Amino acid sequence: MSDPSCHHEATPTPALPGRPQLVLAGNPNVGKTTLFNALTGLSAKVSNYPGITVETARGELALGSGRVADLHDLPGTYSTNARSAEEQIALDALIGLDGQTAPDAVIVCLDATQVARAAYLLLQIQELGARCVVALTMVDEAKTATPDPAALSKLLGCDVVAVTARTKSGLPDLVAAIDRAMRSDRAVVRRWEPSTVLREHLDRVRAAVPEAWIRTPLAADALA
């Protein structure tokens, strides 16, 4: 019987034609929308999803390479296991469900005062195979306890940039990191591997779950 473990590996992520598509993801109340406004300036547009009262914003982000990308501000979510309309919209955008195109890269906002809790969403997004860049927000509130971006980057396997959206501190470095991520042909993929015995139990429970409830491999394991 093997022990449960978390592995990370590099796998190809296909580039998308046309204007690059980026999404901004994170937990609620981590300064995500403030960062979105700082990155896009006055070019934001609000979109309503049919049948529900959820709005998302789309703006243009000028990349360091001279390209322009569409940046989508997703509803705040705590995980990729959608339990609300807002979280379902975020999941659909992250993996390209319901006719949407999977993003070229994902900017994940991590609250510097609660990194351990916020990193849960990042690890799930990495498990989906997305190219990720971390924007370390709320650093002004963390004060002397601000996590070391370089140490976090080594641990998480992606660029981590400390930003303060109100003063635009760190934004040039964040844009440069986004551009690097998009130019990379590989993404860090993290997968949690259960023990052999636990996997057998999970598979039996998953077999009894209605297919309509399972939209991703992550959701299948979560439901089980």
pLDDT digits (tens, 9 = 90+) for 42-93: 655 555 555 444 567 889 999 876 789 999 999 889 988 878 888 888 888 8
Q: For residue 158, what pLDDT band results from cuts at 50, 70 and 90?
A: very high
pLDDT digits (tens, 9 = 90+) for 19-37: 889 999 999 889 898 899 9
Q: Which two tokens stand for residue 106?
A: 């994902």
1 within a domain of the structure (yes/no): no
Q: Whole domain around residue 31: which residue ranges? A: 6-193
**Looking at the predicted structure, is the pLDDT value of residue 186 above 80?**
no
Residue 99 shares a structural domain with residue 198? no
In one-letter notation, the amino acid at residue 47 is S
Look at residue 218 and give its three-state secondary structure. helix
Residue 114 shares a structural domain with residue 146? yes
Domain count, the chain: 2
CATH number for the domain that contains residue 107: 3.40.50.300
Residue 135 shares a structural domain with residue 180? yes
Query: d(Cα 219, Cα 41) in Å, to the nearest integer?
Result: 35
Residue 186 shares a structural domain with residue 215? no
Query: d(Cα 22, Cα 17) in Å, to the nearest integer?
Result: 13
Q: What is the pTM of this model?
A: 0.74
Q: Which region among 5-19, 85-99, 184-198 has the lowest average model confidence (pLDDT)?
A: 5-19
Q: Which two tokens stand for residue 71?
A: 């940046």
23 vs 41 pLDDT, higher one: 23
Query: d(Cα 9, Cα 24) in Å, to the nearest integer?
Result: 23
Q: What percent of the chain has pLDDT over 70?
A: 71
197 vs 172 pLDDT, higher one: 172
Residue 130 shares a structural domain with residue 204? no
**Looking at the predicted structure, is the pLDDT value of residue 15 above 50?**
no
Residue 122 shares a structural domain with residue 47? yes
Q: Closest by alpha carbon to 25, among 109, 104, 87?
A: 109
Residue 156 shares a structural domain with residue 213? no
Q: For residue 201, what pLDDT band results from cuts at 50, 70 and 90?
A: confident
Q: Indicate left, alpha or beta for 214 from its phi (over 0: left) and psi (-120 to 50: alpha).
A: beta
53 within a domain of the structure (yes/no): yes
Residue 179 shares a structural domain with residue 83? yes
Query: d(Cα 81, Cα 58) in Å, to the nearest integer?
Result: 23
Q: Please provide the average confidence, as pLDDT, over all residues in the chain.
A: 78
Residue 137 shares a structural domain with residue 173? yes
Residue 122 shares a structural domain with residue 219? no
Q: Judge whether 164 and 172 are in contact, CB under 8 Å.
A: no
